[in-house]
Structure formats: C-alpha cells, structure tokens
Amino acid sequence: MIDARGLTVSYNGARDNTPALGPVTFSVARGEFVSFIGPSGCGKTTLARTVAGIITEFDGTLAIGDAGPSAVVSTVFQDYGVFPWKTALQNLEFPLRERGHSKEEARAIAHEWLTKLRIDNFADFYPHQLSGGMKQRVSIARALSVQPDILILDEPFASIDAQLREDLQDELMALQQETAMTTILFTHSYDEAVLLSDQVIVLTARPATVIDTIEIPYPRPRTNALRTDATFGSVVNSLRTAIRGGNDGPR
Ligand SMILES: Nc1ncnc2c1ncn2[C@@H]1O[C@H](COP(=O)(O)OP(=O)(O)OP(=O)(O)O)[C@@H](O)[C@H]1O
Ligand SMILES: [Mg+2]
C-alpha cells in the first residue's frame, strides 16, 4: 500500500539546506499497522507530511498503493491541523461533504464521531475555545469519520489524558479489525507501538534512517486484554532494548 525507497527530504533555507529525513526504505502492506519510533527532531513529521503528499520535493521513490488515485488518506498532525475559522462540527462536516455526503448525512456522521471522542458538547466551539487535547480529538474524529484507506497519525495522543488515550487506542484496534485501513503511527510510546502495531520501525536521530524493523508477534484480532497479557512487558522491553541499542543512551 505504501512503498518508500531511499526517501530523502531536505528543507531549503535561504543560506543552506537542512537534511531532515533519510534515506529511508520501508513498505506497508494493505491493512497493516506500522509504527515509527525515533528521537525528537529526527524527521518523523517530515516523513508523515511526505507520505501524506504535502511535501512533494524529495529524492527516492514513494508509491502509494493499490487503492489508486481515489485512495482516501487521512492525517492527524501533532499541531492538530484543524481549521481555526470552523467550529468543531464544521471541521468534521467539511471533508464529509467533499466526499459527497448530503448535508444531513454529514451532520449525523460528524455528531457520531464527536460523541465517540467525547466532545459533542463542544460541537459549536471554535478551535481557539478548545483545549489542546480537545483540538486533537477534533482532528482524530475528522480523520476517522471519512473511513480512510490510509490513516497517518503523528503523535495523535500526546495531549490526551491516560484514560481517554487507552479508550482511543482500543477504538483504533477495533477499527483496524473492521476495516482494511492501512495505518502509520508516529509515537514516542513503546507500549502504544507494541499494542497497536504489526511492525515497529526504529529511526535514528536526524536525518532519520531505519535502524531496525521489529515484528510484533501478537495475532489479530487484538483486544485491550493484551495490555495485561503476561508476555506484553517482555515484548515492550525487547523494543526498548532495540531502540536504546541503536541510539546512544537515554534521551
Ligand atoms: N518547514 C521546515 N523548514 C525548515 N526546517 C524544518 C521544517 N520542518 C522541520 N524542519 C527541520 O527538520 C528536522 C526534522 O523535523 P521534524 O518535525 O520532521 O521532526 P520530528 O521527528 O517530527 O520531531 P518531534 O518528535 O519533535 O515532533 C528538524 O531539524 C527541523 O528543524
Ligand atoms: Mg513531529
């Protein structure tokens, strides 16, 4: 579904170029859930923006898969990416309307997702009236409401409390089961990566390259019972060891 070969990105400054990413090579099969873990500033958001088609100048090749040009790609960015001039509800309605839903349908689906994310009470609030975690939830609700073929999540749970984070992780697990959604997640959380992923790709410091790719051995369907599985801690630890081995010392 996603095939990147030697993907390399630099930001062109007035005085010099900043190598931000790569070369990275990886592929993600349809329906697969792949997480990327790497130190702050290594190029994760750059990679997310490149796969999402926002950054179009890069070296190497990037093929976005077999769902063809009609593939629906949804993104949740670290800085939320919500429209400041639209209410929470309007933020969700907009892409739904663009995809051909009637006004009434779009409104109903939008409310359904705002309810799932527990922010329906804030449907008529503008982003500047919402907390960071609420804006993040608007962004997540908007991304999921269109039932994307590819979902790109850039540290989506960073400003959400632990309890809701677990609920959203569970929701994501369930959605992954129900749909053929291909998901890439950028995260700093080892637990989250193990819980949700089929593969975890470990990145170096900037410009990020791939140190290691770790298969997560748990079959699907998964449930939140995995959190308390006797083997869970040791899988998380092996991931931790791989990351620590590749990057010198604690960060
Ligand atoms: N628009 C930009 N113009 C110039 N340089 C940029 C731009 N965006 C990012 N960079 C640089 O590219 C490098 C990678 O940044 P990026 O945001 O991709 O890292 P990240 O891994 O997402 O970091 P974090 O974990 O802190 O979110 C950094 O050195 C950053 O300064
Ligand atoms: Mg980032």
List, in sequence order, every beta strand (DSSP E) within the chain. Answer: 2-12, 17-28, 33-37, 59-64, 73-76, 150-154, 182-186, 199-203, 210-215
Which residues sit with Cβ closer than 5 angstroms to ligand 2, an ion?
A: 44-45, 78
Ligand 1, atom 14, lies closest to the CA of 43
Same domain, 120 and 184: no
Ligand 1, atom 11, lies closest to the CA of 20
Could you tell me the distance, in angstroms and rounded to a whole number, from the CA of residue 38 to the centre of ligand 1? 12
Query: What residues flank ligand 1, with Cβ below 6 Å?
Result: 11, 18, 20, 38, 40-46, 78, 206
Ligand 1, atom 25, lies closest to the CA of 40
Q: Which ligand is nearest to the CA of 154?
A: 2
Residue with tokens 């739904």: 96
Domain count along the chain: 2
Same domain, 107 and 55: no
Same domain, 96 and 200: no
CATH number of the domain at 49, please: 3.40.50.300
Q: Which domain holds residue 114?
A: 83-146
Same domain, 117 and 205: no
* pTM (predicted TM-score): 0.90
Query: 15: which 2 tokens?
Result: 């005085």
Same domain, 140 and 159: no
Pick from 146, 162, 178: which residue ends a domain? 146
Same domain, 58 and 106: no
Ligand 1, atom 17, lies closest to the CA of 45
Closest approach atom of ligand 1 to CA 188: 25
- Taking only the tens of pLDDT, the chain with its 251 residues reads 899 999 999 988 767 788 889 899 999 998 999 999 998 999 999 999 999 989 999 999 998 876 566 678 889 988 788 999 999 999 999 999 998 999 999 999 999 999 988 899 999 999 999 988 899 899 999 999 998 999 999 999 887 888 888 888 888 888 888 887 899 999 989 999 999 999 999 998 899 999 999 999 898 888 888 999 999 999 999 888 888 876 554 44
The SS3 assignment for 96 reads: helix
